[in-house]
Amino acid sequence: MGLACDTATVLHCNRVGLAVWVKQQASAVTARVDGRTVVLSTKPGTGVYSPGLFWQGFFRDPHAQAWADASRSIFVRISVTKPTGQRLTTRVLVYVSEGYG
């Protein structure tokens, strides 16, 4: 997870990118960050970036810059829906970087 500013000269960024890799194909992935639900998407790719394995999403949060400035971490709840419909949820501590990608 990291700041995903539209321009490199921005002094305050509230746009965040979040990437999730799953071990097995998933049909949907969502994240809960700072009270916000983020729906992640998957795109065509290869290897670890294969569709259904690599998921990403972008969202805005007014606290994002402060998290990154202080090299802070935040708990993120990840929910994965398998192709069978089974839903798995986990909570992970994620560090917020100054850049995404």
Among the listed residues 41, 81, 70, the one whose alpha carbon sits nearest the alpha carbon of residue 58: 41
| β-strand pairing of 28-33 with 87-95 | unpaired
Give the whole-angstrom CA distance, residue 80 versus residue 27: 8
Q: 32 lies in a domain?
A: yes
Indicate whether 100 belongs to any domain.
Answer: no
Considering the domain boundaries, does residue 33 fall inside one? Answer: yes
pLDDT at 38: 96
Residue 67 lies in a domain: yes
Is 51 among the domain residues?
yes
- Three-state secondary-structure class, residue 47: helix
3-state secondary structure of 68: helix
Is residue 28 domain-resident? yes
The SS3 of residue 88 is strand
In this predicted structure, what is the pLDDT of residue 57? 96
Note the pLDDT of residue 14.
87
pLDDT at res. 8:
62
- The CATH number of whichever domain residue 78 belongs to comes to 2.60.40
Those residues of the chain that have pLDDT short of 50 are none
Number of domains in the chain: 1
Q: Give the range of the structural domain holding residue 15, as residue numbers without chain letter.
A: 2-95
